[in-house]
Structure formats: C-alpha cells, structure tokens
Amino acid sequence: MSLGAEIRPKSQLRGRPSTRAPKEAGNRTLVTGVELLLALSRMNDPATLTQIAQRTGMQISRAYRYLTALNQTGLLRHDPATGKYDLGPAAIELGMAAMGRLDAVRVASDVMRRLTEEVNLVSILSVWGSNGPTVIKWEQGRLDLSVRIREGLNLPLTISATGRVFLANLEPAETKKLLERDVRAWNAAAPARDKLDRKKLDAIRKEVLRHGLACTLGLRTRHMGALAAPVFEQGGRLAMVIALIGVVGSFDSSHGGIPAAALKAATQRLSRMLGAQV
C-alpha cells in the first residue's frame, strides 16, 4: 500500500465521511420531525399537508411520511374531515410540562388564579414566543358567557391588549417583523378611518406606558374587551403579560376602574417577586 493511499476504518461505509460537522451530528430524521412541529406551531391555524410542505420547503410525499408518524405519536393530530393537521395532545403536554418547570410561571399562575377569583373575569398569561405574544395559561373565572382560550394561541400586537403591552415594552427591533405583518393584516380589512400608521402606533405605545396597562374593546372579538398589564423580571425586562377579559358593557374596562387597579396591583406584586424594581 502506498503512503498516499486512503485508509478507512472497517466500519465506515464507502462514500460516507468519517466524521460529521457538529451541526450535522445526531439523528437527522428526528431533527426534521422537530422542524415540522415547529413550523406548524408557528402557523396561526391548523394547516393542510400542502401548506405545511410549502412552509418547510419539503416535498409533499416526504412531508406526508413525517406527518403520519408524528400523528401516530400524538405530537400531531389529523382531522379526516378537513384534512388539516394541528398540534396534538402530546405536544401540548410537553409544552405545558416545560412551562410548569419554570418557577416564574408557577408563581405567576398562583397570582393569576387569585386575581381571577377577585374580579370574576377570565385571565390569560402570555409570554413572548417565536411568533409573538403566546398564551400559555388561562383561568375561566365566573363569566356568564363561556370563553375558551387555547394555550399556544398567538395574539396580534396591534389589536389585542396583550399584544399592545408587548409592543410598548419590548425593543422595536424585537417586534418589527411581526408588527409589519399584523399591520398589513389589519389594514387590509379595516375601514380607512381605522387603518394603522406610524403615528397611531406611537400613540398606542405612549398610552400603554402612561397608564401602565392596555385596554381594547371589541377589536379582536366584537363583544369582548380586555385589560392587560406587564410583568417585569430582574433587570427591568418584560417577562410576561397578564390580561383580564370580559364582555363589553358588563365590566369596567377603564384605566381607572376596579379591574384595572386589581390587575396592576397583581402584576406589580408579581414583578417584585421576580426581582424587578417597580
């Protein structure tokens, strides 16, 4: 054998590199499955096979094989009537288990439960996710109207009270891309007088910062109103947002009302528990 000949370990297959770059190491099948799950989680609604394949740049036949396997594990669920896929019970269980391990979320859940009992309104807890404000927990309260809020729901920055709190308290660079998307979606359907521009967005930010909370009435859902306030962590960074939801006309949704005062007191108490100076 010449000194220049290539020596391969017996276990190495011809044509396969002896080592992989760090980013290529691991089970590629598993990585692809996770990428599909993440892509679906960032879509606002259940999606068809074609939509998921287009979002991930994957061939339909290949995407179908992965989606079928994920459906069998419970990480996805497939609706035969519509042909659409959505996150399954196993995915929700994993996500909630991960959130439940965070001390901040556990503490926030206790505060939110007491707040809900105090004001008899639906409350929701949201954090900033890869697709914007994301609901991670909710409490029903004692509304006459039953309200169901899905964990994992993404809320718009522009027309939800929760979104407006994130918009006002995060750096513009963090919200820029999602804000442009939400403004386009709103302006495409809104009458001329209600279209959003830079001046109106600046006014929204200033109002939230001035009052320490956001209020919306009948924007996202015609008969529902919401109040939302920020929860800060050590260093003054926004950690999460708690919102109260009620039926328009049946609760005081003003900035100075009893629900607003209770919400601000609860979020400020929680902020101090997380190490913020408020």
Say if CB 230 and CB 202 are below 8 A apart. Answer: no
- For domain 102-273, the CATH architecture is 2-Layer Sandwich (3.30)
Q: Where in the chain is the domain with CATH 1.10.10.10?
A: 22-87
Say how many residues make up the chain. Answer: 278
Confidence (pLDDT) at 20 = 45
Q: What is the pLDDT along the chain (278 residues), one digit of tens a residue?
A: 333 434 344 444 444 444 444 444 457 888 888 888 888 888 878 999 999 999 989 999 999 999 999 999 999 999 999 999 998 888 877 877 666 556 788 888 889 989 998 998 989 999 998 889 999 988 876 655 556 677 888 899 999 999 999 999 999 999 999 999 999 999 998 899 999 999 999 999 999 999 999 999 877 777 788 999 999 988 899 999 999 998 888 888 889 999 999 999 999 999 998 888 87
Q: Where in the chain is the domain with CATH 3.30.450.40?
A: 102-273
Confidence (pLDDT) at 274 = 85
Q: pTM for the full model?
A: 0.66
- For domain 22-87, the CATH architecture is Orthogonal Bundle (1.10)
What is the rounded distance in angstroms from the CA atom of residue 219 to the CA atom of residue 209?
A: 20
Give which of 260, 177, 262, 248 is closest to 219, Cα–Cα. 248
CA atoms 28, 32, 126, 85: torsion sign: negative
Of all residues in the chain, what percent are helix, strand and coil, respectively (each to 5)? 45, 20, 35
